């Protein structure tokens, strides 16, 4: 284990020592893996106040404060920041870009040491468990044995569930928001549409676009547009856009007549500026492969058998049709069956899956209340 | 009006006489429009047994029997055929490929007489009302004043609603299945993803692919894949495919690992063999433009003000999230407000939007019962 002294306490890029390759579920291994991470707050003397945050598909390590490249607020400032449920004044908050990502961690756009060129499709397929395994090694390097909490929404919630299954002794509590213990057929289907859009773009070049100075921008934009619809509820789209036009009258052509068209085109176009197309393939694949019960003989409760002492908080949103409440209930039933401590909140919201990133006072209050109890139990209060 | 003698009674292609250009909502006009149509059964002496069937986005005039090019059964053999609610033994059943389509009617793949080349994007944008206007002219040519029923599902249902608004005196009854009186923001959003997939394919060539011997197959396949997900419920996808694999074990790559991926790829690939990409753009646009209330001062009931004597039957499916029951209820409320006769059935089904094309005995029974009453009222029984 790397000594805590060798790693900065506020973030940066941590290169795994030569003695610690990342061994993947596929059997492949990555030598010298780099994890880009960020922390907020200070680890206490007892090392009992560390909170690991796990990010969603296209997000990154910048959970709070200002994002260094976009200048926008971090993606979870509703939940993390001064006076928020997760507060740098009392917590040591860590978030790392996932393996396979494109915000500084090793991924398909990184240089393959064997060739000196971008990995492209030579990069090994990764899983949610691989992401979590790498995070656990980073947490080791930070000198933290037990995390006060592991917290995440959407794909981040999958990582939280995997933490509970893989390292139950290393977490005191776990918060799973708007997530699922496995990808459904519809989830896989939407991801496959996105991948086919990317891979069908001639500029994808079999994954080697970087070698050709090209980028499959149109395909990736279409992938993002399709995915974006799944992040919003029908009601939210209707409330925000309805059938409002961009201009007076129809164009009688194929320009963006409706505001919702213009909005989606913008979502697609801005996404390609900040995200790598191959990372999109790899991370969606990791999510599609995720099926926590399958790792445990098809019985989800078995995944949590050793996590009986972990305090769980599961949250879902009524209008989330991507990871609907039924998926959260499925998790909660398994936790109950395993004898784990689980609290569950279904939050009334018309904002769809994206609610977990938006202003949802009940979510904030529920997390604050849950963490308050966790801190008391941990002797921090 | 063309004399009935000049037009075959079992279908073919009808060319609008020079005196009857199709004047479009956009202000454009199409001279010498061709409508490919098919009929089943015989028009009775009183000309009171004609049933017009309106087809959905990617379907065609072959509602029953065997499809001449695919060899598969017509798309509505559940509802139309010997012993079925709509029966050639007693009804004269007519269905025409919509204007803008690609199964024989004039559309963007047809030859533009002004240039001698395929229309491409020079084809005028068409609306649901334009489709219905052309159908009314065909019905005229067939010598039918009043249709016993106009029947359609999905986009076909939109045409039925438009018939009731535009030609209330020409229909005795109207059957609207799994449809809506306007496209929602989410409906438009999914269509826009499909259009961007087509138009982003370099083989689309600004719509002039036919001139270059190319076809935007990859873009159109992605469009179809995205649309296809919206035709099925999450439950249906889970029941049919779940997380079943194609082979033993995962590929650890980007092949189709899951059966649902393979199924979607097949849906995309087979669609491009039978459908024209520009027709897809034009017909989705017509659907997005559809907003029957907007044509009537924003009050849907006004659209049905003159349709008080038409007998309406509206059907929806519980798991249809593309045109959910709430949209059908909205139609029924407007019909009630207009003082029209409306019956409404919400059918319990987990098959999603596509239920209207599948084995749904309640739908079949409801249509049979409704038409039985209609025939009695019309003096046919």
Kindly provide the residue ranges of all beta strands, DSSP E only, lying in chain A, ordered along the sequence.
11-15, 22-23, 29-30, 34-40, 50-54, 92-96, 111-112, 117-118, 149-153, 173-177, 311-317, 341-347
Indicate if A227 and A128 belong to the same structural domain. Answer: no
Whether the predicted interface score ipTM is above 0.85: yes
Instruction: Report the residue of B26, B187, B197 to disrupt the A interface, i.e. the one with the largest count of A CBs within 10 Å.
Output: B197
Q: By the 8 A CB rule, do A142 and A4 touch?
A: yes
DSSP letter (8 states) at residue B258: B
User: Contacts of residue A229 in chain B, CB cutoff 8 Å?
Assistant: 186, 189-190, 193
Domains held by chain B: number: 2
Instruction: Report the residue of B29, B219, B254, B322 to disrupt the A interface, i.e. the one with the largest count of A CBs within 10 Å.
Output: B254
Indicate if B217 and B149 belong to the same structural domain. Answer: no
CB-nearest to A238 from B185, B192, B256 is: B185
Contacting A residues, span 35-54, partner chain B, CB-CB under 8 Å: none
Instruction: Report the residue of A192, A229, A295, A354 to disrupt the B interface, i.e. the one with the largest count of B CBs within 10 Å.
Output: A192
CB-nearest to A289 from B125, B200, B250 is: B250
Query: CA B118 to CA A240: how far, in whole Å?
Result: 39
Contacting B residues, span 102-161, partner chain A, CB-CB under 8 Å: 121, 124-125
Last residue of a domain, which of B286, B305, B325? B286
Helix, coil or strand: residue B38: strand
Indicate if A113 and A21 belong to the same structural domain. Answer: yes
Pairs of CB atoms within 8 A across A/B: 156
- Rounded to the nearest angstrom, the minimum Cα separation between B144 and chain A is 32
Containing structural domain, residue A120: 4-183+291-377
Indicate if B21 and B116 belong to the same structural domain. Answer: yes
Query: CA B245 to CA A289: how far, in whole Å?
Result: 11
* Residues 6 or more apart whose Cβ sits within 8 Å of residue A258: A241, A243, A244, A245, A246, B185, B188, B192, B288
CB-nearest to B226 from A226, A240, A253 is: A226
Q: By the 8 A CB rule, do B57 and B100 touch?
A: no
Indicate if B166 and B311 belong to the same structural domain. Answer: yes
User: Contacts of residue A201 in chain B, CB cutoff 8 Å?
Assistant: 200, 218
Query: CA B155 to CA B107: how far, in whole Å?
Result: 17
Indicate if B265 and B324 belong to the same structural domain. Answer: no
Q: Contact B254/A202, CB-based, under 8 Å?
A: no
Indicate if B336 and B190 belong to the same structural domain. Answer: no
Indicate if B158 and B192 belong to the same structural domain. Answer: no
- Rounded to the nearest angstrom, the minimum Cα separation between A157 and chain B is 20
Last residue of a domain, which of B286, B320, B341? B286
CATH of residue A241: 1.10.1740.110
CATH of residue A175: 3.40.50.1820
Q: Which pLDDT score is estimated for A8? A: 67
Contacting B residues, span 200-239, partner chain A, CB-CB under 8 Å: 200-202, 218-219, 221-222, 225-226, 229, 232, 234, 237-238
pLDDT along chain A (381 residues), means of 10: 55 93 97 96 96 98 90 94 96 98 98 94 98 98 97 98 98 98 98 98 97 97 98 96 94 96 97 97 98 96 97 98 98 97 97 97 98 97 89
Listed residue (B272, B279, B241, B239) closest to B257, CA to CA: B241
Indicate if B44 and B107 belong to the same structural domain. Answer: yes
A293 touches B at CB < 8 Å: no
Query: CA B223 to CA B196: how far, in whole Å?
Result: 8
User: Contacts of residue B186 in chain A, CB cutoff 8 Å?
Assistant: 229, 232, 234, 237-238
Query: CA A226 to CA A186: how far, in whole Å?
Result: 13
Largest CA distance in chain B: 67
Largest CA distance in chain A: 67
Indicate if A360 and A256 belong to the same structural domain. Answer: no
Last residue of a domain, which of B238, B268, B286? B286
B262 touches A at CB < 8 Å: no
Neighbours of B89 (CB within 10 A): 11
Listed residue (A86, A110, A148, A79) closest to A357, CA to CA: A79
Edge-to-edge strand order for the sheet containing B341-347?
A: B11-15, B34-40, B92-96, B50-54, B149-153, B173-177, B311-317, B341-347
User: Given the DSSP bridges, would you call strands A11-15 and A34-40 parallel, antiparallel or unpaired?
Assistant: antiparallel
Instruction: Give the H/E segment covering residue B315.
Output: strand B311-317
Indicate if B190 and B226 belong to the same structural domain. Answer: yes
pLDDT along chain B (381 residues), means of 10: 55 93 97 96 96 98 90 95 96 98 98 94 98 98 97 98 98 98 98 98 97 97 98 96 94 96 97 97 98 96 97 98 98 97 97 97 98 97 89
Query: CA B153 to CA B163: how far, in whole Å?
Result: 14
* Residues 6 or more apart whose Cβ sits within 8 Å of residue B134: B16, B22, B33, B35, B96, B98, B99
Indicate if B114 and B167 belong to the same structural domain. Answer: yes
């Amino acid at each position: 284990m790397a000594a805590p002294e060798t790693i900065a306490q506020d973030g940066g890029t941590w290169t795994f020592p030569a003695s610690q390759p990342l061994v993947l579920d596929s059997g492949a291994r990555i030598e010298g893996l780099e994890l880009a991470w960020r922390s907020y707050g200070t680890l206490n003397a007892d090392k009992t106040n560390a909170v690991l945050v796990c990010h969603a598909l296209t997000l990154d390590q910048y959970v709070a404060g200002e994002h260094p490249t976009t200048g926008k607020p971090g993606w979870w400032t509703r939940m993390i920041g001064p006076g928020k449920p997760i507060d740098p004044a009392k917590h040591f908050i860590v978030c790392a870009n996932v393996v396979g990502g494109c915000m500084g961690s090793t991924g398909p756009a990184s240089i393959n040491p064997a060739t000196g060129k971008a990995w492209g499709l030579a990069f090994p397929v990764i899983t949610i468990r691989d992401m979590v395994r790498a995070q656990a090694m980073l947490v080791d390097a930070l000198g933290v044995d037990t995390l006060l909490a592991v917290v995440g929404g959407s794909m981040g919630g999958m990582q939280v569930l995997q933490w509970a299954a893989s390292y139950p002794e290393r977490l005191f509590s776990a918060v799973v928001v708007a997530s699922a213990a496995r990808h459904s057929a519809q989830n896989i289907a939407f991801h496959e549409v996105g991948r086919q859009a990317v891979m069908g773009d001639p500029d994808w070049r079999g994954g080697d676009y970087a070698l050709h100075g090209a980028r499959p921008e149109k395909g990736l934009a279409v992938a993002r547009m399709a995915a974006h619809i799944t992040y919003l509820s029908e009601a939210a789209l209707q409330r925000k856009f309805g059938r409002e036009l961009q201009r007076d009258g129809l164009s009688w052509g194929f320009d963006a007549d409706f505001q919702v068209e213009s909005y989606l085109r913008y979502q697609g176009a801005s996404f390609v500026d900040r995200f790598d197309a191959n990372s999109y393939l790899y991370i969606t694949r990791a999510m599609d492969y995720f099926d926590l019960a399958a790792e445990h003989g098809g019985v989800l409760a078995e995944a949590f058998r050793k996590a009986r002492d972990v305090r769980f908080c599961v949250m879902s949103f009524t209008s989330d049709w991507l990871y609907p409440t039924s998926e959260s209930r499925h998790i909660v039933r398994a936790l109950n069956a395993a004898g784990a401590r689980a609290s569950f909140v279904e939050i009334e919201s018309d904002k769809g899956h994206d609610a977990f990133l938006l202003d949802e006072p009940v979510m904030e209050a529920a997390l604050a209340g849950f963490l308050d109890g966790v801190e008391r139990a941990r002797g921090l209060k």
